Amino acid sequence: MTEAIVEYRGISKFFAGIRALEGVDFKCRPGSIHAILGENGAGKSTMIKIMSGVLQPDEGTILLEGGPVTFPSPQAANDAGIVCMFQELSLVPDLSVADNISISHPPRRFGLIDRRAQVRRAEDLLARVRCEDIDPNALVRELSLSRRQMVEIAKALGRDPKVLILDEATSALTTRDVQTVYDLLGDLRDKGVASLFISHRMHEVDALCDTLSVFRNGQHIETFAKGERSEGEIVRLMIGRDVEAQFPPKPPLPPAGLREPPLLSVKGLKWGKRLNGVDLAVGRGEIVGLGGLDGQGQKELLLALFGVLRDVEGDVLIGNAKGIPSSPAAAKSAATRLALVPEDRKTEGLMLGMSIADNLLAASFANISSGPFINPKKARAEISAGISKLQIKAGSPADPVMTLSGGNQQKVVIAKWLMIDPDVILLNDPTRGIDVGTKQEIYKLMRSLANDGKAILFYSSDYAELIGCCDRVSVLYAGRVVSEQEGDAISEESLVAASLNIGIEAA
């Protein structure tokens, strides 16, 4: 075994007396792609933040290429060649792509930033990540989430890392971009770079990594080479217990003739250039998946149904009401109530600085008020019902919601919407960036809601989820539904083929 490039010796970290990491010994070798696995709250993020200088360890030492180091700030870690791409992107929205890529060490002329050289540099780096379509002069705020992640990757590359940390860095990428990133990481490995890869997608880890380390409850459980453990064993190591089947069983599909009229039906839905005539129907008790490559109109479709978009055309029937609600406020209070779990929980789903309780109540003030005032008794009852229904792991409902782990934050978002007792539930990639255990809880919850007669429209970028959860899947391509699949006909091959808009025969 070659000498470790980064080594942890007895690293511990406490937050307000609660241990986040305890006595962690950890090594990573140059020229490897090293997966860090663990549930949310297992200490992965803390471990990464210590390595990248965001947090300082309370005990223990870090060795970089054999010598002890301390990183008082991200800047110090960067200067030592440790570059981290965080789940929360570290891009500045109001600056251009080129500015962002060279943000801390821009090319200079006469001491001032040389914009032309900076644009050239951005073009080179974007070409390396095969994103020549991104204009270096565009503002980052104008880009989609998946493009931003690619810019983030280009930015990290530009810093010539010795250690590259990817924290859920591929969560929003398109299939093509994911392949690009895989190739890149392979190149970097051959050049002796150590990559630390955090992902909740097992197939990514499987395809990419050569070494795996499992964390649980702030402790480093085991490190092993790929192939030494089966997937089941890995999952057991992560959660410390056996897991039952990943997806809850689906009820049999009713025969075509006996189906009730759908609760939500959409015909010829159009919006700008993004939606070009979507036809769709969701009945009570059904989970309908939205498939396809990223950016084919799935998100816009959900936003349109929830009344967020203006100038939407097409025939929509929700319950007995014709037309699209005029705003989210109208959508949630109509006769047939709608709820949307949005794409970005940190900005659209939650008010991060406010308490868990306030976030839970945010959509349902009408139910718990007497006249203009909130009834504290009703509010408390609703809050504790919501917390116990979704098993949200929280110290106190008065804590700010940002103190929760990602999975528990998402549970708060879902619990908030369940409080209005919605009839139609729109889910926009609700399991993005959350751990296996919570994912399974969400799958179960979706199925039990469907069994209660809710209509669920579910967008996911993960094919396995669509196959495991959905009664039917509509695959979108260029703003239209190009394929509808039911029951056992839903398979990875058929979904991929439909995503690329090619016939199954051709595939």
Give the binding site for another protein (CB under 8 A).
54, 73-75, 77-79, 84, 86, 88-95, 99-100, 103-106, 111-113, 115, 137-139, 141, 155, 271-272, 300, 303, 308-311, 327, 348
Query: In angstroms, what is the minimal distance from the CB of 282 to another protein?
Result: 23
Nearer to another protein, 88 or 244 (CB): 88
Structure tokens at 344: 């970005």
User: Which residue type does 80 have?
Assistant: A
Rounded CA separation 429/460 (Å) = 5
Chain CA centroid to CA 19, Å:
26
Nearer to another protein, 326 or 491 (CB): 326
Query: In angstroms, what is the minimal distance from the CB of 325 to another protein?
Result: 12
Q: What is the DSSP letter of 488?
A: G
Nearer to another protein, 332 or 472 (CB): 332
b/e map 333-347, b = 16+ CB within 10 Å:
ebebbbbbbbbebee
Nearer to another protein, 37 or 303 (CB): 303
Rounded CA separation 30/151 (Å) = 24
Rounded CA separation 33/296 (Å) = 31
Nearer to another protein, 95 or 496 (CB): 95
User: Which residue type does 372 have?
Assistant: P
Query: In angstroms, what is the minimal distance from the CB of 150 to another protein?
Result: 16
Query: In angstroms, what is the minimal distance from the CB of 140 to another protein?
Result: 9
The runs of H, that is alpha helices, within 363-422 are 365-368, 376-389, 406-418
Rounded CA separation 474/291 (Å) = 6
Nearer to another protein, 178 or 304 (CB): 304
Nearer to another protein, 111 or 257 (CB): 111
Radius of gyration of the chain (CA): 24
Distances (CA, A) of 318 to 166, 306, 311, 335, 472: 42, 11, 18, 9, 19
Chain CA centroid to CA 339, Å:
19
Rounded CA separation 146/205 (Å) = 19
Nearer to another protein, 144 or 391 (CB): 144
Query: In angstroms, what is the minimal distance from the CB of 408 to another protein?
Result: 21
Rounded CA separation 313/277 (Å) = 9
Dihedral over Cα of 479, 484, 488, 489: its sign: negative
Structure tokens at 364: 């349902």
State which H helix or E strand residue 487 sits in: none
Rounded CA separation 187/397 (Å) = 47
Query: In angstroms, what is the minimal distance from the CB of 92 to another protein?
Result: 4
Nearer to another protein, 244 or 311 (CB): 311
CA atoms within 13 A on the CB side of 168: 19
User: Which residue type does 319 have?
Assistant: G
Query: In angstroms, what is the minimal distance from the CB of 423 to another protein?
Result: 23
Nearer to another protein, 275 or 414 (CB): 275
Q: Which are the contacts of 332, defined by CB distance < 8 A and separation ≥ 6?
A: 338, 339, 363, 420, 422
Query: In angstroms, what is the minimal distance from the CB of 95 to another protein?
Result: 6
User: Which residue type does 196 have?
Assistant: L
Query: In angstroms, what is the minimal distance from the CB of 112 to another protein?
Result: 4
Nearer to another protein, 109 or 176 (CB): 109
Q: Which are the contacts of 203, defined by CB distance < 8 A and separation ≥ 6?
A: 464
Rounded CA separation 302/307 (Å) = 9
Nearer to another protein, 311 or 505 (CB): 311
Query: In angstroms, what is the minimal distance from the CB of 363 to another protein?
Result: 16
Q: Which are the contacts of 244, defined by CB distance < 8 A and separation ≥ 6?
A: none
